[in-house]
């Protein structure tokens, strides 16, 4: 049943509409982190790698994420940051198409994905080209010269959603390898990685999976391609036998070859605890609740605040679990909202972003949030000089 507010520590007086950027603290996560530090680390010391099975955390947590995105057991590992996982997936994918030189993404992709691609192509130095057409033009841009199609399913700014099945099919028809970034999908919309047949997927755990700031990322490789993955980051934890301490690298014969170095045990344990919240959640129910909240939010904001312009697709089927509005004074207005306990965020140049996560939000929260938004807009409360100063993180 949704929501599950009692499973989260959300401060009184806060309506949290930013779970698309940093999910709230799940109950149990702090206790778990404390136990890992005090008991496992404190008492067990180095023995805990075995006694608490720290060494297999990247796979154990990966398997739990797999259940939320339709990936089979053993096909996902966690660790590092999403930027690193993008690099690993793209490097592996490019090696699978050595005769081709084009990476196709889109101009709505999250900048770090594009930056990592640019950096990797520079390192390879074989004349690869990154193409970034408009999202709507991606399907028509998949030509026979494309080595890899690398896309983020849900646009971080607008919430616009790509069709995983259709694009993956087109990529494969053209002979390209497919990589999906599920940063704003995992825990937000139903995803079936196995059915999509895409070779790779990556994503983060600190957004809708509520794993905490800096929580490690995940990477999926389709089981039948893993043995063709040539790891660009050949770290010892991805070796077939790390403690054999061999001089030469031999990749593990599983997705574990996409591990790099020592896993972040405390943070991964928090992700593990955070995933308990999902036990028994049906992703179809979650999606229905997300659409219900988003539709209510859009209708209320549009009727109360005509100054705000919807910057997300109007069709809920084409939207993830966030709603964005454009407003010229969006940054200051968001600061005024945050000051009043309605927490969303801002993305340049003028986007006010609101995440609608049904795990801890209900219709009353949406109505109360819109009440505050209307108060800020109607009374031009955003004009207060306090709200004009840009922080480093928006
Ligand atoms: C949030 C997000 C990232 C963040 O990458 P980090 O390495 O975790 O900082 C990358 N890509 C996409 C598409 C995102 O939404």
List the structure tokens of 17.
């509409």
Check: CB of residue 209 under 8 Å from CB of residue 275: yes
220 is annotated as an active-site residue = no
pLDDT in tens, the chain (394 residues): 899 999 999 999 999 999 999 999 999 999 999 999 999 999 999 999 999 999 999 999 999 999 999 999 999 999 999 999 999 999 999 999 999 999 999 999 999 999 999 999 999 999 999 999 999 999 999 999 999 999 999 999 999 999 999 999 999 999 999 999 999 999 999 999 999 999 999 999 999 999 999 999 999 999 999 999 999 999 999 999 999 999 999 999 999 999 999 999 999 999 999 999 999 999 999 999 999 999 999 999 999 999 999 999 999 999 999 999 999 999 999 999 999 999 999 999 999 999 999 999 999 999 999 999 999 999 999 999 999 999 998 8
**Alpha carbon nearest to ligand 1 atom 8, residue:** 82
Half-sphere exposure of 101 (CA within 13 A, CB side): 6
Residue nearest to atom 1 of ligand 1 (CA): 183
Structure tokens that stand for 106 in this block: 């889109």
CA of 217 to the centre of ligand 1 (A): 9
Does the C-beta of 157 come closer than 6 Å to ligand 1? Answer: no
- Name the residue with tokens 């005509």: 306
- Which residue has a Cα nearest atom 14 of ligand 1? 183
Ligand 1 pocket, mutate which of 113, 114, 211 (most atoms under 8 A from CB): 113
pTM recorded for the entire structure: 0.98
**Active-site option among 8, 16, 110, 156:** 110
Nearest to 334 by CA among 320, 316, 347, 322: 347
* Cβ of 83 less than 6 Å from ligand 1: yes
Question: Residue 15 phi/psi, 5° resolution?
Answer: -110, 115
Q: How far is the CA of 85 from the centre of ligand 1 (A)?
A: 10
Ligand 1 atom at minimal distance to the Cα of residue 113: 11
- Per-residue tokens: 142: 């998949």
Q: Ligand 1 within 6 A of 156 CB?
A: yes
């Amino acid at each position: 049943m949704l929501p599950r507010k009692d499973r989260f520590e959300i401060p009184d007086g806060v309506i949290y509409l930013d779970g698309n950027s940093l999910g709230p603290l799940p109950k149990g996560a702090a206790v778990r982190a404390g136990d890992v530090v005090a008991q496992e680390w404190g008492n067990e010391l180095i023995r805990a790698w075995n006694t608490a099975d720290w060494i297999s955390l990247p796979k154990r947590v990966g398997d739990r994420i797999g259940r939320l995105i339709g990936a089979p057991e053993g096909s996902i590992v966690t660790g590092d940051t999403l930027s690193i996982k993008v690099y690993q997936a793209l490097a592996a994918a490019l090696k699978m198409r050595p005769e081709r030189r084009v990476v196709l993404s889109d101009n709505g992709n999250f900048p770090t994905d594009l930056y990592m691609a640019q950096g990797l192509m520079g390192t390879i130095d074989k004349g690869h080209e990154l193409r970034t057409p408009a999202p709507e033009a991606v399907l028509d841009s998949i030509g026979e010269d494309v080595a890899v199609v690398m896309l983020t399913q849900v646009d971080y700014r607008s919430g616009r959603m790509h069709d995983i099945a259709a694009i993956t099919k087109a990529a494969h028809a053209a002979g390209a390898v497919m990589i999906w970034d599920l940063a704003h999908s995992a825990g937000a919309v139903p995803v079936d990685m196995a059915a999509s047949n895409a070779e790779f997927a990556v994503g983060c755990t600190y957004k809708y999976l509520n794993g905490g700031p800096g929580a490690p990322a995940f990477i999926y490789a389709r089981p039948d391609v893993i043995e063709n993955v040539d790891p660009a980051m050949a770290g010892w934890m991805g070796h077939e036998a790390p403690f054999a301490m061999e001089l030469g690298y031999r990749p593990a014969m599983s997705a574990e070859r996409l591990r790099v170095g020592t896993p972040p045990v405390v943070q991964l344990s928090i992700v593990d605890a955070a995933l308990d919240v999902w036990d028994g959640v049906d992703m179809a129910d979650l999606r229905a609740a997300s659409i219900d909240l988003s539709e209510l939010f859009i209708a209320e904001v549009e009727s109360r605040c005509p100054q705000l312009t919807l910057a997300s697709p109007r069709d809920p089927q084409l939207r993830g679990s966030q709603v964005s509005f454009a407003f010229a004074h969006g940054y200051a207005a968001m600061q005024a909202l945050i000051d009043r306990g309605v927490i969303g965020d801002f993305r340049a140049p003028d986007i006010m972003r609101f995440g609608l996560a049904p795990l801890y939000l209900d219709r009353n929260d949406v109505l109360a949030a819109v009440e505050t938004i209307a108060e800020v807009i109607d009374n031009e409360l955003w004009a207060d000089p306090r709200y004009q100063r840009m922080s480093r993180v928006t």
